[in-house]
Chains A and B, each alone.
Chain A
Amino acid sequence: MTDKLRGNLPPLSLHVPEPRFRPGDVVDYSHLAIPSAGAQPRPDEGCAAAETHRLCLDMVRVLDEDHHAVGPWDPKLDADTLRRMLRTMALTRAFDDRMYRGQRQGKTSFYMKCTGEEATSVAPAMALAHDDMVFPSYRQQGILISRGYPLVEMVNQIYSNRADKLKGRQLPIMYSAREVSFFSISGNLATQYPQAVGWAMASAIKGDSRIAATWIGEGSTAEGDFHSAMTFAAVYNAPVIFNVVNNQWAISSFSGFAGAERTTFAARAIGYGIAGIRVDGNDPLAVYAATEWAANRARSNAGPTLIEHFTYRAEGHSTSDDPGQYRSAHEREEWPLGDPIMRLKRHLIALGEWSEDQQVAMDRELVDQVKAATKEAEKNGILGHGLHHPFHTMFEDVFEELPWHLKEQSEQAIRERRIKWPEWKES
């Protein structure tokens, strides 16, 4: 019977995804469907979720080839806001460059740049209210910079020094900044997704007006936490925005290992019955507009939205990574959606609100600003140079109060310190 069902079928074979380009390959992105800017409809923010689902397979774009903002998604921002957006993205990049060099110079153990992805954190941060709660992953430093969190505090954290508010406990860039409604970054992947839903549910339980937003890389959507988050958000119609930053690469694994060969990441919204939008992640105006749409929707009790930001990770995963080992170096230069900072700059110039000279002057100024913050932070120490937090702080915050065994262990650590580093002064 079963033999009959099988007939003369060829044997089964396992499909293992393979990216189009490997090191040395010539890169050709002509297979990517890049729709024209301005061509995507903008449904009403309170619409049925299903009305957005065509946008999950499309791509919302605002900036056209001539650097003009076009179509129904144009957020119509004034020139001052556009310049602020440009400046924030450029500052994020300048900060990344400096911190990357700092790691290479041995000032800390680790760093992660967001080069090419600045729009996916800066534009949403600007479109959200300042007190909307964000649950980021590890490449959203642009949110902190947008919200005016002091650069020197960021550097203190990266150097794990004596002034680090997280007491040197966390890996560099795993910030926590409650004062700017920025949740503690875990380091374990996707855990922030259901947490954001829980915060949003709490805000709804309490009749608040604040919403939550969270970020994840496309690779981490494979974690079970993603499914849990989407299910809870759909069930409770939670006021939350899910950002999937599809930067094409999860360390060495291309997006195909998260399902991109079959459909888009935005399309996951369809199965859960929530709103979804796929957006050109290198178009800061499109990102802003999509976030604004989703925020208005969430704030008016119309439910969650999943936004896929289609972008490209221009640099390695982290300072521990060498992307030259697994992908073609030409990908970055051939990336068809360009660079978010350059695109916004050209838009402002096209509007007559900016110039190349102003850009050069701004970049110079930002480099100085970052340099000054770095110098200031270095006064508090760099990793491994003794100016770290006192040893007893290692035992604090495990619990609210120190139980007996941690008191004993704390005394042990301090005794060891006196033996190992007799010159070190507790103060």
Chain B
Amino acid sequence: MIVDETPVSLQDAPARRLNMIEAINDALDIMMERDPNVVVMGEDVGYFGGVFRATAGLQKKHGKTRVFDTPISECGIIGVAVGMGAYGLRPVPEIQFADYIYPGLDQLVSEAARLRYRSAGEFIAPMTVRSPFGGGIFGGQTHSQSPEALFTHVSGIKTIIPSTPYDAKGLLIAAIEDNDPVIFFEPKRIYNGPFNGYYDTPVEPWAKHADSEVPEGYYSIPLGKARIVRPGQAFTVLAYGTMVHVAAAVCAEKGVDAEIIDLRSLVPLDIETVEKSVEKTGKCLIVHEATRTCGFGAELSALLQERCFYHLEAPIERVTGFDTPYPHSLEWAYFPGPVRIGEAIDRLMKA
């Protein structure tokens, strides 16, 4: 049951500055209020409010049977979410770290992703799996991974990655309302502030960033729509999550007129915006933190080759994490930071 509430125009809605965690918390709170079928569950999400505090206060407000802790079993968490969806609930399970999602893969890949298809629409799995992902917090190999390409490769799962508090709220609301299973990866490095790629400088809090202005109340951002962060002519940057900010900072530092696109949604992909931009600029830099081989950048690169080949004026550049597990002490040597991105920009500009 969705409460009939036509949102006032966003321009008129009162806004306040939130960090990404607060924006996510706000989205969950609003959806729990609007739709009694929404339930939130996961390890430590109940009384404690989550190890990153994303569910803080929700159990107290919405009750223990709608916001609850679970056993440490990702297979169980996703599996019961499938069953709850079959009943008619709209579960929002949290997997504490993306690195811990693998025990739940069978339930995600073989079950949630295909339930609509195999039952010809009799049953659906309208769950939104939230999970912090990405590195930059000295988490080592088990708290740093970016496994988004594992999910974009599976037919039937949507993969969403926000890069600002404003988008995090609107996209999470849209994901919860969506009737398909959605993986909602939250870039934990930028929970508290955007990141320019220079790890040894202090974190700039979200409050200083325009996209931390988050309207109160309900609004949603459609899944499958990219955001042009900055229009430009020299080349197109395709990025998502933390890397949107790092790429934008490097472009600004180098003074290049790049068109920066935050994909926000990997599947479904906003191919129209991507094509239009690359046809205009003729050059493209793809940036992601995940490992390179078969990363989502490979898919983007193939799409551009197929669809924009005659507009390309330079080889497509891919800047990514290396094809190794995420190392602990050499984290910042691994991370695709300003030097790696800068070299790719230089190559594009010279081409």
Main secondary structure of the interface of B (DSSP, over half): loop
Which residue of A has the minimal Cβ distance to B322? A409
**Bound state CA distance, A222 and B122, in angstroms?**
31
| Interface status of B69 (Cβ within 8 A of chain A) | yes
Which residue of B has the minimal Cβ distance to A109? B138
A:216-253 near B, CB below 8 Å: 219-220, 222-225, 250-253
| Interface status of A72 (Cβ within 8 A of chain B) | no
Which of B68, B99, B325, B339 is within 8 Å of A169, CB to CB?
B325
Stretch from A82-90, A184-192, A342-350 contacting the other chain: A184-192
CB <8 Å contact, B48 and A251:
yes
| Interface status of B62 (Cβ within 8 A of chain A) | no
**Bound state CA distance, A416 and B328, in angstroms?**
18
Which residues from A are CB-within-8-Å of B141?
169-171, 187
Which residues from B are CB-within-8-Å of A257?
69-72
In the complex, how many angstroms separate the beta carbon of A217 from the nearest chain B beta carbon? Answer: 8
CB <8 Å contact, A223 and B323:
no
CB <8 Å contact, A251 and B324:
no
CB <8 Å contact, A406 and B324:
yes
Q: Which size class do B's interface residues fall under?
A: 35 or more
**Bound state CA distance, A222 and B103, in angstroms?**
11
Q: Which size class do A's interface residues fall under?
A: 35 or more
Stretch from B281-289, B302-310, B329-337 contacting the other chain: B329-337
| Interface status of B340 (Cβ within 8 A of chain A) | yes
CB <8 Å contact, B330 and A168:
yes
CB <8 Å contact, A252 and B72:
no
Which residues from B are CB-within-8-Å of A389?
329-330
Stretch from A14-22, A117-125, A197-205, A295-303 contacting the other chain: A14-22
Known A251-B48, A326-B47, A416-B340; contact A189-B72, beta-carbon cutoff 8 A: yes
Stretch from A34-42, A93-101, A128-136, A391-399 contacting the other chain: A391-399
| Interface status of A305 (Cβ within 8 A of chain B) | no
**Bound state CA distance, A388 and B327, in angstroms?**
11
Which residues from B are CB-within-8-Å of A62?
none
Known A220-B72, A257-B69, A395-B322; contact A405-B293, beta-carbon cutoff 8 A: yes
CB <8 Å contact, A394 and B69:
no
Which residues from B are CB-within-8-Å of A391?
330, 333
Number of A-B residue pairs having CB atoms within 8 Å of each other in the complex: 143
Which residues from A are CB-within-8-Å of B75?
223-224
In the complex, how many angstroms separate the beta carbon of A67 from the nearest chain B beta carbon? Answer: 36
B:123-150 near A, CB below 8 Å: 138-143
Which residue of B has the minimal Cβ distance to A220? B72
CB <8 Å contact, A225 and B329:
no
| Interface status of A273 (Cβ within 8 A of chain B) | no
**Bound state CA distance, A420 and B139, in angstroms?**
22
CB <8 Å contact, B99 and A188:
yes
**Bound state CA distance, A266 and B9, in angstroms?**
59
Binding site for B on A (CB under 8 A): 13-14, 16-18, 22, 109-110, 160-161, 164, 168-172, 174, 186-190, 219-220, 222-225, 250-253, 257-259, 320-321, 325-326, 383-384, 388-389, 391, 393-395, 398, 405-406, 409, 412-413, 416-417, 419-420
Binding site for A on B (CB under 8 A): 43-44, 46-48, 51, 64-65, 68-76, 99-100, 102-103, 138-143, 292-293, 322-325, 327-330, 333-334, 337, 339-340
Question: Can you name 12 extra interface pairs (CB under 8 A) apart from A320-B51, A395-B322?
Answer: A171-B140, A222-B71, A222-B73, A225-B103, A383-B329, A398-B323, A405-B323, A413-B334, A416-B333, A419-B339, A420-B337, A420-B339
